[in-house]
Amino acid sequence: MDKTYQPEQIENRWYQRWEEGGHFAPSGKGAPFAIMIPPPNVTGSLHMGHAFQDTIMDTLTRWQRMRGRNTLWQVGTDHAGIATQMLVERKVAAEEGKSRHDLGREAFTDKVWEWKHESGGHITRQLRRMGASVDWSRERFTMDDGFYKAVQEVFVQLFDKGLIYRGKRLVNWDPKFETAISDLEVENIEVDGHMWHFKYPLAGGETYEYIEKDAEGNVTRRETRDYISIATTRPETMLGDGAVAVHPSDERYAPLIGKLCEIPVGPKEHRRLIPIITDEYPDPDFGSGAVKITGAHDFNDYGVAQRNGIPLYNLMDRKAHMRRDGLSYEESATLASRAARGEDIGDVDEVNLVPTELRGLDRFEARRRVVEAITAEGLAMTTTDAEGNEQPLVESKKLMQPFGDRSGDVIEPYLTDQWFVAVENLAKPAIAAVESGDIEFVPKNYENMYFAWMRDLQDWCISRQLWWGHRIPAWYDADGNVYVARSEAEARNKHGLADDVRLTQDEDVLDTWFSSGLWTFGTLGWPEKTEALETFHPTNVLVTGFDIIFFWVARMIMLTLEFTGEVPFKQVYVHGLVRDGQGNKMSKSKGNVLDPIDLIDGIDLETLVEKRTGNMMQPQKAKAIAKATRQEFPEGIEPHGTDALRFTFLSQATTGRDIKFDMGRLDGYRNFCNKLWNASRYVLMNAEGQDCGTDGSEVELSLADRWIVSRLQQTEAQVTRAMEEYRFDHASQALYEFIWNEYCDWYLELSKPVLWDDDATPESQRGTRRTLVRVLEAILRLAHPMMPYITEEIWQRVTPLAGTYRGEGDSLMVHPWPEADEASVDEAATRNIEWLKGVIVAIRNIRAELNIAPGKPLEALLTKGDASDRERLEANRPFLAKLAKLERLDWLDAPDEAPLAATQLVGDMEVLVPMAGLIDKDAELTRLAKEIDKQDKLIGGIEKKLGNESFVAKAPDAVVQKERDKLDDLSANRRLLVEQRDKIAAL
């Protein structure tokens, strides 16, 4: 083995050998175990969330493969409708100067497929870097032919059952891409906004007495008004108001219920009147308590409009410009006024309530003009400024505004015809599957989140106005009649249409969540009854983040139950999100993103800064992020290797909790890999070419041998139990403690007196060599699911010595998982070793306290113990002498006759190191005095800071607590130094 561990030299080599050797494919033996990778976007690259999730899935997969299961980790990617279309549109524009409309649908789709074949595999290449042992021979894509067939089949069957329909509903609309989008593709961001307060005059100049009261019922304001006041953040939508709503309990407006008020915008001669109604939605304590209802442009208003039969007037086109089409404003206003009086005016699609001068304007320009017109007319509520002048009442405030996560444009609630899945009947068996325990959430509390959403479902909008995706299998004739079928020919045959009836396929495509909802059975060949489907469905576990329980997990459960009669998976392991070291969400806009590949391979500082700031449009923000990056990573990021990163993720994988990614831990686990590497080199140097007792020859096991074998059994049981409970943090910690503290720090040292003692018997040396290699080989199998590369590299060299090698091409990943042997648990050996460790640590502590060089031979005495302590002393003299660096060790029968000595306790027994001649007393007292003085100065500085009332009052609690913790640590250090000084002074 090389002297130093260099992961970059082994990782690609081993992955290629695993893949070429077919080790990732199902074995065909044992009980099936299947796990589906949540399909990443084909446009994507690996981020920390992917790396964390893939580490968990690969750990589970490798573990079950070693347990003899017929294991399938199914891999594939999602076609990512919006993201892919956007990427290819930009590419075509940059390279050819054309839009997709210039190319046409068919040619543009060809461009997308061309891009997919050339560049669409970036994230799958990165999966290989993470060591993902997926079965690449079964890789699927949500737009491949087999999956397309499954999608069509599901759509047609759901339509035939009445579970898919087309209707006009309010949806999230992205004006840049001109398509409906899902809630998951909407990013709500706090922005600086305004709230305008306007007067809606009462019809006919009617007045009422407006009264405000305080909490005790005392009148605080009384005035006569001829208007009702509303507040809005989107004045342009006032044009489409259908009513003003107040809460039924709001006494201020009780006289106005059922009356009409005038919308204060638009040509004066055609001003519309709308009714004042009651509804539970308005909050009497927010704003004026009166809410304008614009059902076609607000999701809450839409609900009020539906409950109260208020027409929905659409004001905007697909680009979020004010409409140009439809009836004239005069005609539209007349019809809407009739509707306000309770008349049935029928379909309102042609009603366009945008005044002529505003038609075609961008929504934000229309907003500006509406505000100007209302203010000029004196219908804005006013307030008095500091100089006593009246000003329009406009509140500057923070608003949560929805943006498209891909387009960056403000999302508009938009009333449009879309395809929907009626989910009520699909939801019932999906709820029952979790209630009955057929599907189990881990942690269990996520079931409550699932139930809360599933019991309040809205029908699912599944159509998207894109060109890239599964085109909806529906055809229309000239009269708008719709025919749903698997093909145009089937549509004609199914409905008996003549050849001369012209049919046009629906232009829309399906939401990507619709196709990915079929993932567990569509990837296995459904609707065909394949062997894979029979063997691996239902799958065993889904590993996912909590943020897509609604969008993906729930929909998979509903669709899979409907079409297979089975649950898609038996367990859902829900993990948290990966955040930065301060607990902030990682995002490009914050400049705190870490690329897992950079953590594996390393990256220099300037390249890291460029990656974080390169595409930022705001120079000041980019400058601040560059500065923060240089402070956090002054030397860039050193290479750590895949295994260290995987182990870091697993060590922090507490069920359901978000992860604060800690670079310190990553550094620590890189050191852990080095520790394992160096320990293996020691074993090989002492075992290669030697008799390791694997041929059945006689061996003699030392106390240390019996102890480490015993501890191995307990660790195997502990790790297995933790893996079964999805406690990867517990499993990794148990493994770490055993490898670092017990095997490397103690057992390897305890092996040296046997291996290097000329008086040791061949049987005892053979026994220690056998124990060294067999325990190391078991450690490598135990660690392999978590750290596959380093364990495979070392195992290939160790396993021939352990007698478990099967020949060329053999791989650790298909060797059996270690199973604990209770018969090998030796409690007596553990007690004896703990005694031995206690004595050695006691002597090392004395060395540290007295600043005695680690290599200086010492004399030591043991006293005040019992007969068992004496027996252990005699049995372990060689180990104690070697590991504690002792030239003499005796038992003292008369404790009262002990010389002046430094003392440590091991149970009731005292460990004494006589002080005479060990140290330069005066020099040591001088050194300690300086250290105590240094501590006093540091303590004084912090006490002064904490005594400053201004600092304690103004500084964040975390900063103040950090200073208090420092003070506690310094005070504890000072006490230890004083104790050492007093001991030495007494000599």
Q: How many residues does the chain have?
A: 987
The tokens describing 663, both together, are: 């670079």
pLDDT at 916 over 90: no
pLDDT, tens digit, 9 for 90 and up, residues 370-385? 999 999 999 999 988 8
Residue 15: count of CB within 10 angstroms of its CB: 21
Over the range 304-340, which residues count as b (16 or more CB within 10 Å of their CB) and which as e?
Answer: bbeebebbbbbbbbeebbbbeebbebeebbbbbbebb
**DSSP per residue over 737-768, as a string?**
IIIIIIIIIIIHHHHHHHHT-TTS-HHHHHHH
For residues 34 and 339, give the distance between their C-alpha atoms in angstroms, rounded to a whole number: 59
**DSSP per residue over 927-979, as a string?**
HHHHHHHHHHHHHHHHHHHHT-HHHHHHS-HHHHHHHHHHHHHHHHHHHHHHH
pLDDT, tens digit, 9 for 90 and up, residues 67-78? 999 999 999 999
Confidence of residue 867 (pLDDT cuts 50, 70, 90): very high
pLDDT at 970 over 80: yes
3-state secondary structure (DSSP) of residue 4? coil
Question: What is the model's pLDDT at position 265?
Answer: 93
Question: What is the model's pLDDT at position 980?
Answer: 74
Whether residue 655 contacts residue 662, with contact meaning beta carbons closer than 8 Å, is answered with: no
φ, ψ for residue 250, nearest 5 deg = -80, 100
Whether residue 755 contacts residue 765, with contact meaning beta carbons closer than 8 Å, is answered with: yes
Confidence of residue 694 (pLDDT cuts 50, 70, 90): confident
Residue 913: count of CB within 10 angstroms of its CB: 24
* Strand 208-213 versus strand 76-77 pairing type: unpaired
For residues 764 and 980, give the distance between their C-alpha atoms in angstroms, rounded to a whole number: 42
Residue 192: in which H helix or E strand, if any?
strand 186-201
Confidence of residue 323 (pLDDT cuts 50, 70, 90): very high
Determine which of 46-60, 274-288, 381-395, 597-611 has the lowest per-residue pLDDT on average. Answer: 381-395
Whether residue 541 contacts residue 571, with contact meaning beta carbons closer than 8 Å, is answered with: yes
**DSSP per residue over 498-524, as a string?**
-TTS--EE-S-EE-HHHHHTTHHHHTT
pLDDT at 918 over 80: no
pLDDT at 634 over 90: yes
Question: What is the model's pLDDT at position 850?
Answer: 82
pLDDT at 770 over 90: yes
**Residues 183-196, mean pLDDT to the nearest whole number:** 91
Question: What is the model's pLDDT at position 942?
Answer: 92
φ, ψ for residue 194, nearest 5 deg = -135, 150
pLDDT, tens digit, 9 for 90 and up, residues 459-508? 999 999 999 999 999 999 999 999 999 999 999 999 999 989 999 999 99
Burial of residue 529 (CB within 10 Å: 0-12, 13-18, 19+) is exposed
pLDDT, tens digit, 9 for 90 and up, residues 722-769? 999 999 999 999 999 999 999 999 999 999 999 988 888 999 999 999
For residues 673 and 736, give the distance between their C-alpha atoms in angstroms, rounded to a whole number: 10
Confidence of residue 435 (pLDDT cuts 50, 70, 90): very high
pLDDT, tens digit, 9 for 90 and up, residues 369-425? 999 999 999 999 998 887 888 889 999 989 999 999 888 899 999 999 999 999 999
Preceding amide of 538 cis, omega within 30: yes
Amino acid identity, residue 287?
G
* Strand 227-232 versus strand 186-201 pairing type: antiparallel
Question: What is the model's pLDDT at position 641?
Answer: 97
pLDDT, tens digit, 9 for 90 and up, residues 22-42? 999 999 999 999 999 999 999
For residues 910 and 903, give the distance between their C-alpha atoms in angstroms, rounded to a whole number: 7
3-state secondary structure (DSSP) of residue 321? strand
Question: What is the model's pLDDT at position 805?
Answer: 76
Could you say which DSSP state residue 579 is in? E
| Spatial CB neighbours of 710, under 8 Å, sequence gap ≥ 6 | 824, 825, 826, 827, 829, 830
Question: What is the model's pLDDT at position 671?
Answer: 97
pLDDT, tens digit, 9 for 90 and up, residues 144-185? 999 999 999 999 999 999 999 999 999 999 999 999 998 888
For residues 323 and 354, give the distance between their C-alpha atoms in angstroms, rounded to a whole number: 7
Question: What is the model's pLDDT at position 618?
Answer: 81
Question: What is the model's pLDDT at position 956?
Answer: 81
**DSSP per residue over 888-925, as a string?**
EEEEES-GGGPPSEEEEEETTEEEEEE-TTTS-HHHHH
Whether residue 699 contacts residue 773, with contact meaning beta carbons closer than 8 Å, is answered with: no
745: left (phi over 0), alpha (psi -120 to 50) or beta: alpha
pLDDT at 940 over 90: yes
Structure-token match 């009333």, residue found: 415
φ, ψ for residue 245, nearest 5 deg = -115, 145
Angle at 177 between CA 174 and CA 179, to 5 degrees: 60
For residues 669 and 513, give the distance between their C-alpha atoms in angstroms, rounded to a whole number: 38
Helix, strand, coil shares of the chain as percentages rounded to 5? 50, 20, 35
**DSSP per residue over 424-483, as a string?**
HHHHHHHHHHHHTTSSEEESTTHHHHHHHHHTT--PEE-EE--SSS-B--EEE-TT--EE
* Strand 440-442 versus strand 394-404 pairing type: unpaired
Of 807, 816, 810, 809, residue with least CA distance to 782: 816
For residues 213 and 163, give the distance between their C-alpha atoms in angstroms, rounded to a whole number: 51
Residue 516: count of CB within 10 angstroms of its CB: 24
**Residues 80-88, mean pLDDT to the nearest whole number:** 92
For residues 134 and 147, give the distance between their C-alpha atoms in angstroms, rounded to a whole number: 19
| Spatial CB neighbours of 3, under 8 Å, sequence gap ≥ 6 | 681
pLDDT at 858 over 80: yes
Preceding amide of 527 cis, omega within 30: yes
Confidence of residue 101 (pLDDT cuts 50, 70, 90): very high
Question: What is the model's pLDDT at position 468?
Answer: 96
For residues 644 and 326, give the distance between their C-alpha atoms in angstroms, rounded to a whole number: 64
pLDDT at 945 over 80: yes
For residues 161 and 153, give the distance between their C-alpha atoms in angstroms, rounded to a whole number: 12
Whether residue 812 contacts residue 795, with contact meaning beta carbons closer than 8 Å, is answered with: yes
Of 379, 363, 362, 410, residue with least CA distance to 191: 410
Question: What is the model's pLDDT at position 291?
Answer: 96
Whether residue 75 contacts residue 36, with contact meaning beta carbons closer than 8 Å, is answered with: no
For residues 95 and 234, give the distance between their C-alpha atoms in angstroms, rounded to a whole number: 39
pLDDT, tens digit, 9 for 90 and up, residues 785-831? 999 999 999 999 999 998 877 777 789 999 999 999 999 999 999 99
pLDDT at 924 over 80: no
Whether residue 511 contacts residue 464, with contact meaning beta carbons closer than 8 Å, is answered with: yes
Q: Average pLDDT, whole number, for the chain?
A: 93
Angle at 689 between CA 687 and CA 695, to 5 degrees: 80
Question: What is the model's pLDDT at position 406?
Answer: 84
For residues 511 and 172, give the distance between their C-alpha atoms in angstroms, rounded to a whole number: 13
